[in-house]
Structure 1
């Protein structure tokens, strides 16, 4: 396999002004991030709250730039957003006045894709996420899980090389979340996309990822990358019930418990949003 994404000693700092009006302080969100993601791989990232997971995803999406180090996509440095990457956030961010099908078409409209072509492509991805019968429904007529499927279809319709997912199932109930995990794995196998998926849930990280990257508390570093055993990917039943799953989960849980406490930072969070 070939590396699609390469993080090379990436560091990210922010300048923060305290609420008390004191001098600005430099705040390190990520430190010495070196990581390879293979083409077609499903990588999950898990770590303590505030460890910089979302900041890492923002860097990969080109929404912000590293303070030092670099990130390569197919061997070329990332210098900003691009159509080769799509982001799915926890919030669905669907346009309430558009139908599900029209929401999926939106990115294609921006890209000036011909109407007939974008409609055909939107229908294809609507079917891929299992919502072909709901294309004319507006967001208020859809459940939370359906809305997130539409958001995923909208990202896929632009046909990116890499799909970035920032805790997309966190706001859903447990049953819907597990159902969507199954659906996402099916979609990943059908499309062969490279997926980087952020989660707070150890179980979710193991169920979805071929590898699980565990991050330290702030400043975020990659503490260890776990290879998920192939036996957990081939099981027909719920892998959570298998002794091997429990063993892998315990290893990751133990590593997270050993994470040092985050240093205190000024209370003004404006300059460090999404950390």
Structure 2
């Protein structure tokens, strides 16, 4: 796994950004897309239909997205992750502190969207604020409940896709340093190679398939339980999100526990 100051092994063309809800995935994916000239598709816009219903064509559209030579998106939804991982040539993991960075962000974002009635994907808007107390799948409660999932998931992903570079960014400061350092340098080097007419390299997915065949490694990525299941053709229509049954009935106490439990490293959180 690469740190924020490690050079990238290649100029990325197909990038996924992973992280807890509110960590800044979509914003970072958009910035990466602009730097490497790989269009950004917001995967939530493919998944959510009217009235927050999952769109039946979601997985087909994800497959169409990854068939392109260059793209960026968020690494979300259990059924979509294996498709994205197979074709991506870089994964960026936003592993920023939850209590001081992610939680304030997701609360601010949710309040802003609800109070301004901001229109989201396919005409949806944030539900009323009181649903924080009544809906286990409320976005703030979801962020709290799944805040440790990626630390379990990344080692599995490394085992399944050993040639997929993973960059771990632990703070907004590291994110800015990575964008202006290794990513910018990789983008410049790639532009110079194209100018000199170097032949195109093999896709990340094809390289990994050859490596797995050589090493006898399995092809599939373990499914995770922090995002909704998407049905395959012929499966009953409305999928259900599997929710961690350990979520407490009083979410305000859970958030208070998170704030008390977060270790104080003495680092002043950078602003957004």
Q: TM-score, normalised by structure 2?
A: 0.34
The structure with more helix, counted as a fraction of residues: 2
Q: TM-score, normalised by structure 1?
A: 0.33
The structure with more strand, counted as a fraction of residues: 1
